Amino acid sequence: MPIHHILRILLVDGVDVPGADAMVDQTGRMRKFTMQGKITLEEHFALEGTFANTSRFSVPGMAEDLQARLTDFENIRLKEMDEFDIELAIQSLNAPGVQAVLETPEAIDLAQRSNDYLAEQCARRPDRFAGFAALPMQDPEAAVEELTRCIRDLGFKGALVNGFTQKDTPETVIYFDGPEYRPFWAAVEALNVPFYLHPRNPLPSRSQYFEGHPWFTNSAWAFAMETAMHALRLMGSGLFDDFPKLQIILGHLGERIPFDLWRLDHRLKKSPQGIPAKEPMRYYMQNNVHLTTSGNFHDPTLNLSITEMGLERIMFSVDYPFETTEDAAVWFDNCELSSADKVTIGRTNAQKMFGLD
């Protein structure tokens, strides 16, 4: 029976299942057990021209390997999904993607081409792939139009946007908490789909604290710092007071917000300084935000995120191909959770959010 038609746990709450307490996969690696039927949400592909900046991939061959994986769908990607028991992967355009296109007509064109290409790939394997829309946030009205097309015509599951948007000039930085984006958020809520806020690197002109320390840029530290601030801007602006049913997703177990959530609200209560938000940040995190495990494969961090957010707001993801499917899946299969909780995070939460059968 194909793995994507069944769901089983081979080790249940520490109780040995005969013949299943250890298994060897086809590469000879030891794996204690496997949860089959996992669903992932932060998995990326590239079009020709969207994978251009390779300077940060200093390990020889790494950039070439990433490019090969980003532009492949049915070979390496699908093979690894099969090997590590991932049933469905929701795909999205790699960062910074459309958000780095300065001319609005070009941004609209790239978003449409990306979404059409992704729809073709999903149509070939609808049992294995689904899509998040790339959006031209340079023009909020165009973003609404493209999102609506992707949801209603292409069958996508939501949108993934790679952080702030540049427009007209390279130094422009546009966040989405401003009043000009309120109609966009109204449309997202009305369509009843989630918005995945994905990281991108802050502009060098705004990153003086990294000068002389380039190793902290990008995914090591800068991604989380940039994305956390964008998410906090959305919450602090009163966005979720205006649209209480709106749902957003943050990767990497919350871009470090859960760790500091108590102190954040503690200090805002003592010194609110006119913040528009009507509720504490914890309220929005627990009612309007979901987290994925993408690129953060560590039991203590997962346990803290569950404590702060609730089990029903965490979903499994890899961050393929910038993280390996093996690292993500083997960690999750063997992490310190009950079998029931693994099913909830690995599958059920995503099924509920995206209306998956």
Q: Give catalytic residue positions.
A: 319
Please, what is the angle between helix 140-152 and helix 104-124, to 10°? 10
> Which neighbouring-strand residues pair with 197?
161, 250
CA distance 341 to 188: 29
Tokens 């992704």 found at: 118
Closest CA to 3 of 72, 81, 73: 81
CA distance 284 to 306: 15
Closest CA to 177 of 151, 195, 157, 191: 195
Please list, in sequence order, all residues whose beta carbon lies within 8 angstroms of the beta carbon of residue 128, skipping any fewer than 6 positions away.
4, 78, 81, 87, 88, 89
Q: Are 102 and 170 in contact (CB under 8 A)?
A: yes
